[in-house]
A and B are shown apart, each in its own frame.
Chain A
């Protein structure tokens, strides 16, 4: 860390620290992850127990499977017969154990058949595509069209009492579903850039399939294998119940349920151990499959453990209550707003105590890189936070009213009429199932309540307002038929339908071509002049900010780092981060000279230091910067900066 001597921004700090931000999850293999899931342990343990019991039945079972004990026939659970005895006095527990010696190999046969067929076929069909794929598709469609049990019955008619034939047929009939899944997994993998890179390097198709596609497929296969095992077990005992696979008298689970059924009147207990065991094993396979699926996702993901439940997107949530400060002339005021994500153990802050205002008829830019918290802030204003996030502190004042404490139905009315939203991806911002006219008309009807003719004319007005040339034609089109720039204009029109006072634009141009970007920004400027509404634009694009905004707020790691009028910010930034960002812009660079860069990366959510969050990357950091939290200082002419060295750096001519 540099001390007081002024050092220029470090030009050759290409080095990156691979910090242990993801510590605690270095690289856990599937096995280790599983061992930490209680569900996996219980189910896996139970299955292991039952399978071992079946394998070692001759050693473990209290009685031979056909040993008669007529005196104690039809008893419930007793000391002699832990799980009861059937009509001939045969011990239920023993018969269950011996029955397992039939069932588990059958399940294995079914699962293996399905896997052996599905994995190569699925991968080959997905990878090579073309005729092979279509052929496989036709065959799988055909097989899926045949009700499984019919064909199994046919096979049993050919090979009576042959469970092997039955289970192999089952495996064959189950494989089309698995082929579809594997093929579905292979398709995006084969188009992925890493496969292209491998092809460029000259890796053969076979090697690509083994080295790149198979690892992804294996994960799915392990999970699906568990589910297929559950299904196979159910199948096999069903066939047993129908009397089609075992000879009479043999210890077979399906048959045991059947005879228990016949003896309902005399000893209903008999239903419990037989059916109960089957149900428990099927359940165990299913839950184990679920645990495998979760564990598999965790081993390759960044953070350990899923971000948990949180609330549903539409669930009514309680908002923190707060005071109502006096009337002000600001349109929007955020006061000490904090937003957090709930994870299993704790809340992780994404936005930390942010306060700023938006005046009427003003365009404010909220700028920052990814992870700064700007999108979350804008979503918090609209109460459209993702599931796991919620406001944990602070107030939001709109037009003099405290909207934080409002209940959901009151707030719903504010959306569209007080504030509107334009999001990032124009292609997916419109409902693909409805025409443009239909969706736009729905909002117009909601806000204006007009009849069909009035609604249509208002829709055309809105489309004209966003400078669309042939609006009548557009009304009948579906979102997938129009270009990105056009879709973004429609999205803007939808946001304007309720005549909002504040328009929030969340990265409105990031997904568009640069010439279209220019047009959309110009359009927003035009609209603001015409409607006098305020605009809060959230972006990482400084050029857009320079073009459009009156005032700029720079976010970093959940905090406001600088706030200023747009001209002042670009002419003379008063924060090392802002200055660094402006310098790092290639449009300001000299070709041939190294770009002045900011080394390192933004600290990720959840690992923010308590001192200055930029200090580890700042070339001007001093001891005082590491001492404790840094306040947001008010400077001259309504400027703010979160840097305690501002005066020093100004004296040194750096800022």
Chain B
């Protein structure tokens, strides 16, 4: 796979779960398109209920796919059986959010890290030790951690161990599911730097899932904005964040805390005239027809609640799912 070729391609992906009531269906993901080129990173942003974690699970074979297709390195993996996942894991690995649950507390760090190698038939003790030591070195940990249990490490260290486990098999694509969300600020920065370094050194690609737009902007080339299971906007990360083409993206960016008190107060004054915050509906309701963001959108008009918004191309080649694009941008302020 040479650089620039499509490593991951998702078309029309839909993931449905059974609702609590008989016959009801929860559409966790609907009509998702994305493509990721080798050696690049795409950030998937959204809040709770957006489906971003479900997207990761679907690619990893951990969620039931209703329709659509997923292609990895040219191969269609949509309905891949569990058995064939083994071969796929040479290319695709994952690091999860919660350091406490991403490592088995009852087995040693060494046993955890070497598992991918063992699965692929590498059983020679010497070779295993060598590769474990190398992986640990790559993530900045000393080799004597192999006999310890995860409970003896801090959150940041546990994440490094999880990254070592993902790296040891030399994958091409690593799915990072909120990997820094549970970490302190200074540790977050260390792990982000580590991920960026690894990407450069090994030509890795990332599917980087996060609720934090600043983090996504830092580490990703492309960005995908999700809301209640659907794509709201996609494009080049820097462009989208500087000039969002969808009201929800704008809302997300505006809600991200800026570490500048003057700017914050200015922003707050500007937003005075907006809809008063009154708390959202009691439980999240799912809007089937029309745009899912319409109930909260200040630019919404009738058609927004009736018809699903079409995908419109934006200036830099991305797209946005909004009826009122590009007019709404002029309506701001």
Contact = CB atoms under 8 A, between A and B. Distances in A.
Main DSSP-derived SS at the B contact region? helix
A547 interface: yes
Interface string A588-604: 11010011111101101
A595 B218 contact: yes
A18 B157 contact: yes
A646 interface: no
A591 B237 contact: yes
A513 interface: yes
Interface string B249-282: 0011011111111101100100000001111111
A597 B282 contact: no
A204 B184 CA distance: 35
A469 B277 CA distance: 9
Given A202-B89, A483-B283, A14 B258 contact: no
Nearest to B97: A193
A489 interface: yes
A130 to B, nearest CB: 13
Nearest to B166: A197
B256 A197 contact: no
Residue from A477, A515, A517 with most neighbouring chain B CB atoms (10 Å): A515
Contacts of A473: 282
Interface string B121-158: 00000000000000000011110110111111110110
A584 B185 CA distance: 7
A433 interface: no
Contacts of B94: 196-197, 200
A595 B157 contact: no
Nearest to A17: B142
B323 interface: no
A18 B144 contact: yes
B261 A567 contact: yes
B259 A588 contact: yes
Contacts of A192: 101-102, 104
Interface in B299-320: none
A14 B102 CA distance: 21
B279 A489 contact: yes
A367 to B, nearest CB: 10
The contact size tier of chain A is 35 or more
Given A200-B89, A467-B277, A542 B257 contact: yes
A322 interface: no
A18 B145 contact: yes
A547 B257 contact: yes
Given A212-B107, A547-B264, A586-B189, A193 B149 contact: no
Contact of A194 (B103, B214, B284): B103
Interface stretch (B9-17, B22-30, B190-198): B190-198
Interface string A18-44: 100010011100000000000000000
A580 B186 contact: yes
A542 B211 CA distance: 16
Contact of B257 (A26, A544, A582): A544
Contact of A215 (B61, B104, B211, B255): B104
Contact-size category for B: 35 or more
A203 interface: yes
Interface stretch (B32-40, B67-75, B111-119, B324-332): B111-119
B188 interface: yes
Contacts of B284: 483
Interface in A182-216: 192-194, 196-205, 207, 211-212, 215-216
A408 to B, nearest CB: 35
B105 interface: yes
Contacts of A594: 193, 196-197
A194 B104 contact: yes
Contact of B279 (A15, A193, A300, A467): A467
Contact of A14 (B57, B188, B194, B283): B194
A219 interface: yes
B268 A22 contact: no
Contact of B141 (A18, A22, A468): A18
B106 A215 contact: yes
A202 to B, nearest CB: 3
Nearest to A518: B255
B144 to A, nearest CB: 7
A198 B61 CA distance: 12
Given A16-B156, A200-B89, A483-B283, A369 B218 contact: no
Nearest to A526: B277
A301 interface: yes
Instruction: Please provide the 10 A-B residue pairs with the shortest distance between their CB atoms, ordered closest to farther.
Output: A543-B257, A202-B86, A587-B214, A584-B189, A215-B106, A193-B96, A513-B47, A518-B255, A519-B277, A369-B184
Interface of A: 11-12, 14-18, 22, 25-27, 192-194, 196-205, 207, 211-212, 215-216, 219, 299-302, 369-370, 467-469, 473-474, 477, 481-486, 489, 513-519, 522-523, 525, 540-544, 546-547, 549, 566-567, 570, 580-582, 584-589, 591, 594-599, 601-602, 604
